Amino acid sequence: MAMVFAGTLADIDLFFSQSSPSAYVRWHRAIFHSIAAATILSVAVSLAFIQLRRGKSEQKMTSGVSILLATITAGLLHLLLDLGQSLGSELLWPFSARRFSLDWLPKPDLYVFALLLLAILLPKLASLVTEEIGAKSKGPRGRVGAIVGLAAILLYVVARAALHSTAVATLDARTYHGEAPRRIAALPEDESPFSWLGVVETERALNEVAVWLGPASSFDPESARVSYKPEPSVALDASLRTDSARRFLAAVRFPKASIVRTIEGYRVELHAFPYGSVAASSRVMAVVDTDFTGKVVADSLEWDPAAKQHWWL
């Protein structure tokens, strides 16, 4: 029970991040997804669990040290699995606000859920069979299933990492609408381990392209959907210096700016690219209004209507 609490506590930031766009940028995958916070929370859970069981029979009870190590391991495993995704986590808070991500696993990953479910159900089925034939089981119940399940997940993650490396190499070896890539990312999609979403930044544009690594795979860089960057302007430069823009840019890997002329000046919007994708990792956009001279009139963080609105993001 202590491991279950410690392994899920990092997601408490969901309760804080949904209250407003500003709170989302501040809390989403931030403090509670750091190594420091995960360790502190895991220790607190283990101490509370040990305190609650005081006075009970000591026979066959797990030692306090074992509980402590187990809860810390559960908390850190949560961060490790999140690190494999594309959303990014502030692992080194409070020393650094940098977000880390490996882009190996989608969120949610139904294959991992399936492997965990099999690890739980197969030992149950095996125990029913052994009880039916009258055999006695040796060792703690579920140990073999847990070992096999963890091994299967590890192999799956390694396979995902290898496919990701292939996808990145495929993207990096091509040009896009006549331009060489400056930055690239291969983001995992949940349909299949062989399906990836390529994001390629060039000098003038951001490109979105599907990468299929399964049987009969082929890759056409000309099929990339292109979104051109706006031309440099006083309004854009002023917008990027605002507090809202700085907070947004710190949390988003591929920001895309759009500029619209209004009656009183310009409206600059910063979105997470690619639009409408879970892998874009932000439900928020930054909005800045300026006059015709580039003076900032207003800036704010707002919910992005084009972004995925699933509660778990």
For 279, what's the count of Cα atoms within 13 Å in the CB-facing half-sphere? 25
Lowest mean pLDDT among 29-38, 65-74, 151-160, 175-184: 65-74
Rounded to the nearest 10 degrees, what angle do helices 143-172 and 110-132 cross at? Answer: 160
Q: Which token pair is 267?
A: 């409206």
Please give the residue that has the higher pLDDT: either 197 or 147. 197
CA distance 44 to 10: 13
Task: Give the pLDDT of residue 130.
Answer: 52
Per-residue confidence band for 311, with pLDDT thresholds at 50, 70 and 90: very low
Among 97-106, 131-140, 153-162, 164-173, which stretch is predicted with the lowest mean pLDDT? 131-140
Confidence of residue 49 (pLDDT cuts 50, 70, 90): confident
Rounded Cα–Cα distance for residues 282 and 21 (Å) = 10
Q: What is the pLDDT of residue 139?
A: 54
Residue 18: pLDDT band (50, 70, 90) is: confident
**184 or 109: which carries more pLDDT confidence?**
184
Question: Would you say residue 31 has pLDDT above 60?
Answer: yes
Report pLDDT digits (tens) over 254-289.
999 999 999 999 999 999 998 766 666 678 999 999
For 192-236, what is each residue's pLDDT tens digit? 999 999 999 999 999 999 999 988 888 999 999 999 999 999 999
Cβ neighbours of residue 306 closer than 8 Å, sequence gap 6 or more: 271, 275, 276
pTM (predicted TM-score): 0.85
DSSP for the chain reads: -HHHHHHHGGGGHHHHHTS-HHHHHHHTTSGGGSHHHHHHHHHHHHHHHHHHTTTS--TTPPPHHHHHHHHHHHHHHHHHHHHTSSS-B-TTTTT----B----S-SS-HHHHHHHHHHHHHHHHHHHHHHHTTPPP-SSTTHHHHHHHHHHHHHHHHHHHHHHHHHHHHHHTS-BTTB--SEEEEEE-SS-TTEEEEEEE-SSEEEEEEEE-STT----GGGPEEEEPPPP-HHHHHHHTSHHHHHHHHH-SSEEEEEEE-SSEEEEEEEESSTT-GGG--SEEEEEEEETT--EEEEEEEE-TTS---TT-
pLDDT at 279: 62
In this prediction, residue 181 carries a pLDDT of 96
What pLDDT score was predicted for residue 281?
Answer: 66
pLDDT at residue 246, as a whole number: 96
